[in-house]
Structure 1
Amino acid sequence: MSATSHQPHRRRTYALIAGAATLATVGALAAALPATASSDKHGGGHHFNRYQDVQLLSFNDLHGNLEPPSGSSGRVTELQADGTTKTIDAGGVEYLATHLRKAREGQKYSITAAGGDMVGASPLISGLFHDEPTIEALNKLDLDVTSVGNHEFDEGARELARLQNGGCHPTAGCYVEGKKFQGADFPYLAANVLDEKTGKPILKPYWVWKKKDVKVGFIGVTLEDTPGVVSAEGVKGLKFKDEVETINKYAKVLQRQGVKSIVALIHEGGFPASGSYNYDCDAPGAGSGVSGPIVDIAKNITPSVDALVTGHTHNAYVCTIPDPSGKPRMVTSAASFGRLYTDTTLTYDRFTGDIARTSVKSANHVVTRDVPKAPDMTRLIDQWNTLAAPIGNRAIGYISADIPSSGIESPLGDLIADAQLAYGKELDPETDLALMNPGGIRAPLTFAAKGAEGDGVVTYAEGFTVQPFSNTVNLQDITGTQLIQILKEQVSGTNAAAPKVLQISSGLTYTLDLTKSGADRVVTDSIKLNGEAVNPTATYRVATNNFLAGGGDGFPTLGQGTNDLVGTDDLTVLEKYLTANSSATNPIAPPAANRITVVQ
């Protein structure tokens, strides 16, 4: 249960078992750890160092981005001294490894932790191989521990167990002849993910890092609403518990074992007041500097937890949020896709065995691309790219310029919705419209993409990066009243605080008034289809992916559709549309993104 930081990898097995948190396990750990920290003496034993700085390096939401992400997904915004901002190209595991290794130099006590979503929604180089390449890269990065995130459940608990423990994929088999996938050298923590039958965590709920007389406990949780953002099949047989209650429970367990320095790894996050990674969250007049679900979570987690590493929202922040006793506590997030890492200094008090929180320092750092690439990561990427190349390099379409995926309504969102409408009409000519969830669009399409395929060419690998989930495109009937309600659910209910604006196909238009609140932000009278007001009593045939059709992402009304028809996967649909509507001499142009009128 203990480990010394950054020693040669040791094979560990973390079974997907019901007994992960049994009293027997607790008792064994208690016996293995001393109740009090011993002193670390220097100078012949005459000088006692009460305080020991422990470096905590952390990142989150890597999503299998081993290669540098393209377009806006591969940039961060930096606030300058004069108040202006500039963008910096960032990310790529070859650079991340170099930065982390450099940061560890001279640090005798260094831990590397992550906040979940290491895998899932991954580019082709990882996703095509069920994210084995990313696990191998994380092993080489000397990751010590991570929480699970919602995307760790994209392929279900059994596949997550395989990523942890190793073994070849049950249907795809082994990708390299004579080589068995070894699994993660680090523990995945899933304290609040329970087996419905046993009521116990499916993986370890906590883990203790130990070096000499210094020990730090880690508790890992994912957001309680994981079933709302993952397909039903992915969370089948699982129960997700409240983040705060779970962390507080296991903090007591750790304290009973004499572990008083505790870090929570939480795959849930917030929304900073600035989009710049180096924004001062705690500046006077900035309030808390961050809003969203993590604020209430942080305010209610027991004061015995010393720091929170968070994720999920893909934002960057280093903030203090008061704990229940009113004492400031560090809460961090390092954006996503390996573009940033957080370097936190935890000052360990050997007298108390706890962190002296008044001394905690933290900052986000850019994973710049102006450093040497880590050769071991380059070899790993080259190996997997060689296997992926015959599939990934195939051209599926042509574009005349970048097609961005960001914004309330994005050009790429419009294109994907149009592709799904066109496919829907193939299945059923009566199909009226298509709706696409923004979270299902993982990257932009860039005109000058890397590689030798030539400017403007869209490869299968690039398409896979945009839509990696293998969702099916389905048809269902909904009433006009339901369509109006669905559009209102974008900005109400579970989406009230953080709207999820659906990307819509050509012909559907409406006004989104952001000066109002809740469902009123969707102006009902403005909703039109092909220039005519939506008829509340009429029936409309709608194309969506199976995740939305099941009521995912906070759209319960979409789960009430009828007359379902299941089609092919969404990437095939996008490929069909690009192939039919573009060529080398007649590339497709970015849609205007003018279907939603936004009032601000």
Structure 2
Amino acid sequence: MSATPQPFRPRRRSTRLLAAAAGVATVGALVAALPASAGESAKKPGHQQPGRYQDVQLLSFNDLHGNLEPPSGSSGRVTENQPDGTTKTIDAGGVEYLATHLRQARKGNAYSVTAAGGDMVGASPLISGLFHDEPTIEALNKLDLDVTSVGNHEFDEGAKELGRLQNGGCHPTDGCYVKGKKFKGADFPYLAANVLDEKTKKPILKPYWVWKKNGVKIGFIGVTLENTPGVVSAEGVKGLKFKDEVETIDKYAKELEKKGVKSVVALIHEGGLPASSSYNYDCDSPGGGDGISGPIVDIAKNVTPKVDALVTGHTHAAYACTVDDPSGKPRTVTSAASFGRLYTDTTLTYDRRTGDIARTAVASANHVVTRDVAKAPDMTELITKWNALAAPIGNKPIGYISGDISNAGAESPIGDLIADAQLAYGKELDPETDLALMNPGGIRAPLTYAAKGTEGDGVVTYAEGFTVQPFANTVNLQDFTGAQLVQVLKEQVTGTNAASPKVLQVSSGLTYTLDLTKSGADRVVTDSILLNGAAIDPAATYRVATNSFLAGGGDGFTTLGLGTNDLVGDDDLAALEKYLLATSSATNPIAPPAANRITIVQ
């Protein structure tokens, strides 16, 4: 294990740019009347004293994943409920617009703090990922981000690289990207309260940070999901121990209280799922709100009442809900979807007398990062600079498609395409390769047909391919028995995947039925599993291509970590590029796969 990253060293921040404030919707019926002095200063002849109550604006977002440019396709849209009961989609996202919206929201709010819920980097498009996410850190500095928790993707390149993003320095192998300019690192602290160095037993980065202004003090504790080792490559979390989220937050909330900080916000990279995909769905509405489900609910119900609000992430969902704390008191739980499409505006009313948040006065709502506002010039300049460096690689054509290849659905057209590409590459390495399996979480975007920039319709560039598969996993071949292969398919809906199935994308020739009306492993209809029309023989040996993440048992597919006769090939994006170049041309583009290999019964 490399040396533990050095602690965060704050640098002088630039003055915030302030612009038009966004209104904040009340969550449920929580807003209670406050004394007339709330949010105001008590005035006396000749001088001015702060009033008892001070409104603090908390702006937050999560799961940016290096999306500096506006995301394409469905990744760049949000759904909005309309007053008449219909819905509409809105194009959203892009840091040029996010910066403008945040600066407008801060206008008139002297007490404003901006926080994030992790996964700021990792699985990033080429403009950021090609440069190990230095461009995203630069953008977040310009956004005046104050603090963020780590997410699982902050560990994609390991703890040492995370430490470099925090404290600066040029990349150890790629060096400095701009001649004579050293990467400065983040102006904000990354918080990793539940991520310990196995040797020292101490957090690898700061566990908490305290925002202070004119006597107002709010502590922020940052954690990532305890199961980070299950969703990150083994190399990325080598030498690290991930502790329970609730236990960790409770520990540091007590420590903050001992230091005189009674107002606390938890930044948690774990999330939930609302009943509606609309960003403005009122999950607390009487008789109509169904709240949220998922791992964050148990965390929210059990985290100490000392914590006043939870900013969450990971699921890429949008919600501004309340969940009762252990004392039965409602507490705000928010998430702003992903890719910079939304931001959350929360009002925390700070009681100067008690030093705590007047919880009945908390109000929170999500707002769309629309693209109908002026672009922030400093962000445009940043994007232009990094695009110029990436262009020689990113603009290279690697294939042609006849229509959008979607990333939607349990089995997606893009998933089928990637699985087919890995099968074809596997057969080059070993003609005995039988099939390929791809994890859905490793597919980060669709391929879109429409022109982008100077690209012609239907042209797939290297930059687009990189956005789809940014992890630089290798394609690995392993042998499994037929019985093990069936067990792998059952692991899609059992174990850690029981509550939220992870449906593997399968190569051409493998077909089966997934019956979601049943429970447990029975959801995989065993006698429906066919390979090239023949039933799987439990005793036979099958040669399977997967990426290195799955080959290590990632995403709960422990059986895939038991393969034999390993053969490690090139990276998965190279396999996709090779497949597209071999099977498509401008006059004979690839059509979107039908996504009909898995029959889903619901």
Identify whether the pair has TM-score above 0.5, normalized to the shorter chain: yes
Q: 2:518 aligns with which of 508, 512, 516?
A: 516
Aligned partner of 2:534 among 528, 532, 535: 532
Match of 1:295 in 2: 297
Give the drift of 1:84: 1.2
Counterpart position of 2:264: 262
CA deviation profile, 1:61-91 (whole Å, cap 9, x unmatched): 0000000000010001111112211111000
* Aligned match for 2:391, one of 386, 389, 392: 389
1:222 aligned onto 2:224: yes
CA distance in 2, matches of 1:217, 1:497: 33
Distance 2:488 2:47 in 1: 70
Partner of 1:409: 411
- The alpha-carbon deviation at position 258 of structure 1 amounts to 0.6
Decide which of 60, 75, 81 is 2:62's aligned counterpart.
60
Q: Return structure 1 stretches of 4+ with deviation > 6 angstroms.
A: 1-6
**SS of the counterpart of 1:477?**
strand
Instruction: Give the C-alpha shift of residue 6 in structure 1.
Output: 6.7
Query: What secondary structure sits across from 1:553 in the alignment?
Result: helix
5+ residue gaps in structure 2? 1-7, 17-39
1:123 paired residue number: 125
Deviation at 1:41, TM superposition (A): 5.2
Distance 1:561 1:211, change over 3 A: same
Q: Tell me the amino acid that sits aligned with residue 168 of structure 2.
A: G
Instruction: Provide Cα deviations, 1:458-477, integer angstroms capped at 9, x if missing partner.
Output: 00000000000000000000
Q: What amino acid maps onto 2:128 in structure 1? A: S
Contact 2:465 2:573 in 1 (8 A): yes
Scaled by the length of structure 2, what TM-score is found? 0.93
Q: Is the contact between residue 433 and residue 541 of structure 1 (CA under 8 Å) also seen in structure 2?
A: yes
Distance 1:243 1:372 in 2: 40
Q: How far 1:42 moved relative to its partner?
A: 4.0
1:3 Cα deviation from its structure 2 partner = 8.9
| Alignment check: 8 A CA contact 2:10 2:188 kept | no
Aligned partner of 1:157 in structure 2 is 159
CA contact (8 A) 2:63 2:314 kept: yes
Alignment match, 2:279: 277
- 2:457 paired residue number: 455
**CA contact under 8 A between 2:225 and 2:269: conserved in structure 1?**
yes
List aligned pairs for 1:70-469, cutoff 5 A: 70-286=72-288, 288-469=290-471
Confirm or deny: 8 A CA contact 2:41 2:48 kept in the other structure. Answer: no
Contact 2:10-2:187 at 8 Å conserved across structures: no
Deviation string, structure 1 residues 512-539 (Cα, Å, up to 9, x no partner): 1111122211111111111111111111
Counterpart of 1:550? Answer: 552
Q: State the partner residue of 1:487.
A: 489
Q: Is it true that 1:584 corresponds to 2:599 in the alignment? A: no
Question: Deviation digits for residues 382-409 of structure 1, max 9, x if unmatched?
Answer: 0000000000000000000000011100
Change (3 A) 1:104 1:3: farther
CA distance in 2, matches of 1:369, 1:481: 52
- Return closer, same or farther for 1:261/1:5 CA change in 2, 3 Å cut-off: farther
Q: Secondary structure at the match of 2:128?
A: helix
Residues in 2 aligned to 1:449 and 1:471: alpha-carbon distance in whole angstroms: 28
In the alignment, the residues of structure 2 paired with residue 553 and residue 40 of structure 1 have an alpha-carbon distance, to the nearest angstrom, of 53
Report the secondary structure of 1:129's partner residue: coil
- Aligned partners of 2:586, 2:263: CA distance in 1, in Å? 60
Question: Which amino acid counterpart does residue 132 of structure 1 have in structure 2?
Answer: E
Corresponding position of 2:562: 560
Q: Which whole-Å deviations, capped at 9, do the CAs of 1:281-332 have from their partners, x for residues lacking one?
A: 1122456511000000000000000000000000001110000001000000
The CA deviation string for residues 414-450 of structure 1, in whole angstroms up to 9 with x for no partner, is 0000000000000111101000000000000000141
- When residues 52 and 577 of structure 1 are mapped into structure 2, their CA distance, relative to the original with a 3 A threshold, is same
2:455 & 2:163 partners in 1: Cα distance?
A: 37
CA contact (8 A) 2:397 2:461 kept: yes
Cα pair 2:449 2:459 within 8 Å, conserved: yes
2:506 alignment counterpart = 504
Counterpart secondary structure, 1:280: coil
Which residue number corresponds to residue 21 of structure 2?
A: none
Is the Cα–Cα contact under 8 Å of residues 403 and 448 in structure 2 kept in the other structure?
yes
| Cα pair distance change 1:179/1:42, threshold 3 Å | farther
| Counterpart-to-counterpart distance in 1, 2:355 and 2:153 | 35
Letter of the aligned partner of 2:201 in structure 1?
G
Counterpart AA for 2:568: V
The answer (yes or no) to whether the contact 1:193–1:240 under 8 Å persists in 2 is: yes
Partner SS state of residue 256, structure 2: helix
Show CA shifts across 1:132-156 (max 9, x none).
0000000000000000000000000
- Find the aligned partners of 1:6 and 1:427 in 2 and give their Cα distance: 52
Counterpart-to-counterpart distance in 2, 1:207 and 1:217 = 6
Q: CA distance change for structure 1 residues 373 and 352 in 2, over 3 Å: closer, same or farther?
A: same
Which residue of the partner structure matches residue 595 of structure 2? Answer: 593
Local SS of the residue matching 2:416: helix
- In structure 2, what is the Cα distance between the partners aligned to 1:200 and 1:170? 25
Query: Counterparts of 1:487 and 1:328 in 2: how far apart (Å)?
Result: 40
Residue number in structure 2 paired with 1:28: none
What is the alpha-carbon distance in structure 1 between the residues aligned to residue 411 and residue 15 of structure 2? 48
Question: Of 574, 577, 588, which aligns to 1:575?
Answer: 577
Which SS does the other structure have where 1:324 is aligned? coil
- CA distance in 1: counterparts of 2:162 and 2:509, whole angstroms: 41
Give the Cα separation in 1 of the matches to 2:341 and 2:286.
28
AA of the residue aligned to 2:163: A
One-letter amino acid of the counterpart of residue 353, structure 1: G
Q: Distance in 1 between matches of 2:420 and 2:319?
A: 36
State the Cα deviation string for residues 125-175 of structure 1 (Å, max 9, x = none). 000000000000000000000000000000000000000000000000000
Q: Number of matched residues?
A: 571
Secondary structure in 2 matching 1:344: strand
Kept in 1, the 8 Å contact 2:265–2:309? The answer is: yes
Q: 1:430 to 1:350 in 2, by over 3 A?
A: same
SS, match of residue 72 in structure 1: helix
1:494 and 1:187 map into 2 onto residues whose CA distance is 31
Alpha-carbon distance, 1:46 to partner: 6.2
Give the Cα separation in 1 of the matches to 2:485 and 2:43. Answer: 71
Assess, with a 3 A threshold, how the Cα gap between structure 1 residues 388 and 5 changes in structure 2: closer, same or farther.
closer
| Alpha-carbon distance in 1 for matches of 2:11, 2:203 | 25
Checking the alignment, whether the CA contact within 8 Å between 1:277 and 1:316 is kept in structure 2 is yes
CA RMSD after TM alignment: 1.5
Correspondence for 1:24: none
